[in-house]
């Protein structure tokens, strides 16, 4: 992407593969920074942008410093792994990163091509120096001081930070429910996480499991080339009302309440209901939007429904969502008996040195942007010195 840079800004990353801070890990000793951002998807890049704006620099030697650690091999977050047929015109809920709009794109272009390129340009434009691939294995306290530092262990060395902004999202933790007989199935089982295109199922019988927007979208897509059978655990509640501002506020408030109490965030569908969309309407027009009760067990050549009815299957596609990718936070001991972490306004209530953004109510792209901004605002408040001027100019940051 040839995005124009502001006057006086210099592109210091014309060759990403030779920049030591972005792609190599020459030192494995402990690096001390003020803020460590874990994850470089929408939420992580938003946090990095706002850190830049407040005078933090991606340099451990800076007066105010931060680092962004990302497990992916290239920019783009989860977008680079989305299925091939997900086009820009059909992407659900794109919201631009702060400070730089998504460049115009052909509506027929694949989202997994356009959006990673946009993320890549964003990192360069604002000189964020994301370090990748870095697998963070644990975040733990360095000592018993509640205002002390947190230690981030990774396969690229150890980092020490005053605050950790966790922005690891959910893509790397697909949720597969357990059903009896799954190991006996002779066909193919896959999760939406591994879906590529409908063509690979042409002429087959595909059981689609799930009640979210991905399940409905893929039901519409796959049913054009295959025989589909759609099952959900619960009866569907179709909401004919527009998902307007009031509905969004109510949905967000419901998730905020859950995470404040330490409950797992839950699925989007659990708080919004299922709303009519272009895929549901298209599937209904073709007579394939037919929901069946969830099967009770999986057999070698199909699934067994309540009442003993057997349905043949060549493929079982699990569109059953994702879980928060936070196992590396386990050493902090913050998980409640209910299975979540108590979070309010993006901050862990039981250890305020930790922020979880892109978690719970901030899982949407617009929510992730705001969460990144709010986390950095809280860090600046902790420092007590407001907005600091950088020691030297941060490229393109206004």
pLDDT tens string 103-121: 888 888 888 899 999 999 9
**pLDDT 10s digits, 182-199:** 999 999 999 999 999 999
Same fold, 18-172+323-383 and 182-237+273-318: yes
228: phi then psi, degrees, rounded to nearest 5:
-110, 155
- For residue 269, pLDDT over 90 is answered with no
285 φψ region: left (φ > 0), alpha (ψ -120 to 50), beta (else): alpha
Instruction: DSSP letter for 87, please.
Output: B
Q: Encode 142-172: b = buried (16+ Cβ within 10 Å), e = exposed.
A: eeeeeeebbbbbbebbebbbbbbbbbbbbbb
All structural domains of the chain with their residue ranges: 18-172+323-383, 182-237+273-318
DSSP 41-54: SHHHHHHHHHHHHT
Instruction: Supply the pTM of this predicted model.
Output: 0.84
H or E element at residue 38: strand 30-38
Q: Terminus-to-terminus CA distance in the chain, angstroms?
A: 20
Class of domain 182-237+273-318 (CATH, top level): alpha beta
Question: What's the CATH code, domain 18-172+323-383?
Answer: 3.50.50.60
C-alpha dist (Å) from residue 382 to 125, 136, 140, 259: 28, 25, 20, 23
Whether the pLDDT of residue 92 is over 70: the answer is no
Give pLDDT, residue 123: 97
Tokens 């655990």, residue located: 233
Convert the pLDDT of each residue in 331-343 to its tens digit.
999 999 999 999 9
Can you say how many angstroms the Cα of residue 289 is from the centroid of all Cα atoms in its chain? 28
Task: Say what percent of the chain tops pLDDT 90.
Answer: 66
Q: Quick one: pLDDT band at residue 33, thresholds 50, 70, 90?
A: very high
The pLDDT, as a whole number, for residue 236 is 80
Q: What is the pLDDT of residue 150?
A: 98
Residue 71's contacts (CB-CB under 8 Å, 6 or more residues apart) are: 39, 132, 133, 134, 135, 136, 168, 172
Return the biggest CA–CA distance within the chain: 72
The two tokens of residue 324 are 């928060």
The whole-angstrom separation of Cα 140 and Cα 150 is: 6
Mean per-residue pLDDT, 230-236: 91
- Measured CA distances, 223 to 35, 205, 279, 280 (Å): 48, 9, 11, 12
Residue with tokens 């037919």: 290
- Average pLDDT on 366-371 reads 82
């Amino acid at each position: 992407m040839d995005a124009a840079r502001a006057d006086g800004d210099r592109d210091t990353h014309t060759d990403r593969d030779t920049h030591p801070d972005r792609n190599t890990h020459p030192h494995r000793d402990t690096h001390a920074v003020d803020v460590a951002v874990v994850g470089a998807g929408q939420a992580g890049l938003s946090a990095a942008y706002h850190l830049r704006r407040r005078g933090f620099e991606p340099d451990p030697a800076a007066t105010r410093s931060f680092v962004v650690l990302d497990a992916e091999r290239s920019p783009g977050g989860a977008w680079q792994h989305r299925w091939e047929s997900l086009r820009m015109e059909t992407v659900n809920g794109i919201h631009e990163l702060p400070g730089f709009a998504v460049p115009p794109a052909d509506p027929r272009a694949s989202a997994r091509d356009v959006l990673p390129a946009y993320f890549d340009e964003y990192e360069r434009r604002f000189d964020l120096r994301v370090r990748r691939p870095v697998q963070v294995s644990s975040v733990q306290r360095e000592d018993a001081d509640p205002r002390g530092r947190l230690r981030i262990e990774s396969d690229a060395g150890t980092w020490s930070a005053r605050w950790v902004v966790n922005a690891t999202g959910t893509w790397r933790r697909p949720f597969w429910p357990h059903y009896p007989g799954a190991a006996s199935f002779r066909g193919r089982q896959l999760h939406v996480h591994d879906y590529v295109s409908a063509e690979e199922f042409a002429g087959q019988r595909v059981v689609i499991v799930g009640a979210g927007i991905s399940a409905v979208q893929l039901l519409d897509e796959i049913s054009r080339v295959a025989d589909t059978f759609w099952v959900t655990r619960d009866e569907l509640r179709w909401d004919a009302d527009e998902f307007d501002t009031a509905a969004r506020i109510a949905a967000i408030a419901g998730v905020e309440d859950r995470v404040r109490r330490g409950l797992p965030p839950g699925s989007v569908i659990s708080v919004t209901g299922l709303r009519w969309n272009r895929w549901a309407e298209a599937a209904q027009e073709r007579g394939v939007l037919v929901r069946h009760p969830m099967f009770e067990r999986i057999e070698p050549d199909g699934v067994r429904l309540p009442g003993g009815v057997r349905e043949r299957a060549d493929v079982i596609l699990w569109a059953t969502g994702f879980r928060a990718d936070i196992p590396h936070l386990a050493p902090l001991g913050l998980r409640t008996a209910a299975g979540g972490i108590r979070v309010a306004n993006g901050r862990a209530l039981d250890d305020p040195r930790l922020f979880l953004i892109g978690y719970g109510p901030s899982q949407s792209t617009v929510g992730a942007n705001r969460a990144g901004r709010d986390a950095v605002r809280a860090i600046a408040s902790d420092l007590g010195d407001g907005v600091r001027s950088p020691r030297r100019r941060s490229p393109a940051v206004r």
